[in-house]
Structure 1
Amino acid sequence: MRLGLAANRLHHHDGEAALFRFLRASEAGLRDLQCSLHAVGRTFDAIQQHGPLRGDPLVRQYPYGRDGGLMKLVAEVVGMGAERSLDGAIYLIDPVDPSSIFPEAIALKRQCVIHAKPFISTVASARDWVEVERLHAGFAADAAADDLHRFEAQTLALIAHDAMKPAMLAFADEHFAVLSRFASRIGTGTTGQRLNELAWSRGWPADTPWVTRYQSGPMGGDAQIADQVLEGRCQRAVFFEDPHVARQHEADIQLLERAVTTVTDLAVCITSPRVAARWASAAALRSEAGCV
């Protein structure tokens, strides 16, 4: 398994930064998975300076960003043959760093979404991904990841653009039991209504919304949910984006994504149906094993 790895300076400038909080929490899991990290320029240098994984063959050096390192990650997410293909990317984003909106940074996420590969932009998402893949590989649940799986104390956001609404409904229908474990669910206008109709058809009490609805995306629903993320009231977002259509409310969409990266240790964000289904299946495995 191979993942691209990049982090803005805020997240690797010293040994207590986000990159190293992730690596310390997930080093054993990364070794279990034999997951190689293909680290761009300064991110690689920071690992060699601060560790963990200093000098470890699991960490591969890529060029600096100015020399095309991030562009190479984009190409390898798309696929450049058997020896140059990535299974996804971790990009720990500082939302106020201008490089987070450079074309190669935006393209990295877009190509991950298009090719149904994980795009991981927060510490919580990175820890969660490692636990999901460990469970699918047959390893026992890691108690250190229990905080990510206390769904009964968490709020889940379910959001989908127009072309992705059928995929969201299919995902919710297939994984209804897991999603119903959350203390509450929130969503934007039309998606929330359709999810409520699905829940009612499955026997959810007709006088109780399964999803609390905010405004539609163009009317500011993404911004309302972003506020819930920033306030610590929403811990996980499943956000099915359509990467092929230009949207007039793109700034609002970016606002939600930037809110998630602002609280990087606290919020998990999943951006494709395949990755979401893999997470939900792993959550069911954890539950069947009697874990949180």
Structure 2
Amino acid sequence: MRIGLAANRLHHATEDAALFRWLRACESGIRDLQLDLHAVGRTHDAIVAAGMLGGYRGLKRYPYGREGGLMKLVAEVVGLEEDTRRLDGAIYLIDPVDPSSTFPEAVALKRQCVIHGKPFISTVASARDWIEQERVLAGLEPDPAADRFFSPEGQTLALIAHDAMKAAMLAFAGEHFDLLSRFARRVGTGTTGQRLNELAWSRGWPADTPWVHRYESGPLGGDAQIADRVLEKRCQRVVFFEDPHVARQHEADIQLLERAVTTVTDDAVCTTSPAMAQRWAEGMAARARRRTA
């Protein structure tokens, strides 16, 4: 599996920066999975300078961002003719106040991952969660250090979908209703929340009890309300089915939620496409089976 890797400057500036926290927690998983990490220049150099992933042949160096390194990752997520120039997803640890995180190549990297159903991972928590998910799906034993990411009973889950993606969200919730019902609390924005409640009531959820606590619709501030919960570490996981093909009138509100997730990088996991949500649900089920076997 080939994964693009980049981190904004803040996330590799000190010994305890986000990039290194992730590598310390997941180096064994990276080696177990034999991931090829295609790292943009400055990120690659920081890993080598820190003495991490020593001797690991799967670490590949790309040009610096200013020389087109991130642009090359975007092209390879889409896929080029050569088999060796095709990425299976990207880990981009974002500093929400770094202007480069809003450059066209950064936005395009996420958009193309979503379009092609590949993981786009922007927080330490998401990266740790994804590594453990892929380990378990590969048949490896669960890592107890990752238990907190797979214990929904104490967590709040946000379920959000753009208009064109609401049907996909309802289908996902219907297929994995029992899993999603294990969360201590579910929250959502206006219409999506109402339709999910109607689904839950049709499945036998008590009619006088909302399955999803509804905030305002996205354009009226629902994304901002959920962002506040994320920042207060009262919402640990966001499943956000984005429609990458349309201009969004409340773009600033959507960016606010995305920035909130990356602000609390160690505490919030974000999934941005139906394909990745399905993969996560499969990983949750596989890990639960192994823990009870």
When the two structures are superposed, what TM-score results if normalisation uses the length of structure 2? 0.98
Q: Which piece of structure 1 moves more, 49-58 or 273-282?
A: 49-58
Which residue matches 2:145? 144
Segments of 5+ residues of structure 2 without an aligned counterpart are none
The answer to whether the 8 Å contact 1:4/1:73 transfers is yes
Whole-angstrom CA distance in 2 between matches of 1:106 and 1:231: 26
- The alignment of Structure 1 onto Structure 2 pairs a total of residues equal to 291
Say which SS state the counterpart of residue 83 (structure 1) adopts: helix
One-letter code aligned to 1:273:
P
3-state SS of paired residue (1:74): helix
Paired position in structure 2 for 1:33: 33
Q: Please name the residue that 2:64 is paired with.
A: 64
CA distance in 2, matches of 1:180, 1:153: 12
Q: What does residue 53 of structure 2 align with?
A: 53
Aligned-pair CA distance for 1:61 = 0.2
State the one-letter code of the partner of 2:79. Answer: G
Q: Distance in 1 between matches of 2:204 and 2:30?
A: 41
2:253 matches 1:264: no
Looking at structure 2, the residues matched to 205 and 140 of structure 1 have their Cα atoms a distance apart, in angstroms, of 37
Summarize deviations over 1:248-269 as a string: whole Å, max 9, x none: 1000000000000000000000
CA distance in 1, matches of 2:211, 2:279: 22
Match of 2:175 in 1: 174
Indicate conservation of the 8 Å contact 2:161/2:241, yes or no: yes
Identity among equivalent positions (%) equals 75
Q: Is the 8 A contact 2:142 2:291 kept in 1?
A: no
Q: Per-residue deviation at 1:105?
A: 0.2
What's 2:206 paired with?
Answer: 205
Deviations 1:22-60 (A, max 9, x none): 011111111111101100010001001113214421110
d(CA) in 1 for partners of 2:31, 2:143: 14
1:202-281 alignment, distance < 5 Å? 202-281=203-282
Distance 1:205 1:251 in 2: 36
Structure 1 residue aligned with 2:4: 4
Q: Distance in 1 between matches of 2:43 and 2:289?
A: 38
Q: For residues 51 and 231 of structure 1, what CA distance do their matches in structure 2 show?
A: 34
Which has the higher mean CA deviation after the structures are superposed, 25-34 or 60-69? Answer: 25-34
How far did 1:270 drift? 0.3
Q: Which runs of 4+ in 1 moved over 4 A?
A: none
Could you say which residue in structure 1 is the equivalent of 2:128?
127
Q: Secondary structure at the match of 1:238?
A: strand
In the alignment, which residue of structure 1 is the partner of 2:197? Answer: 196
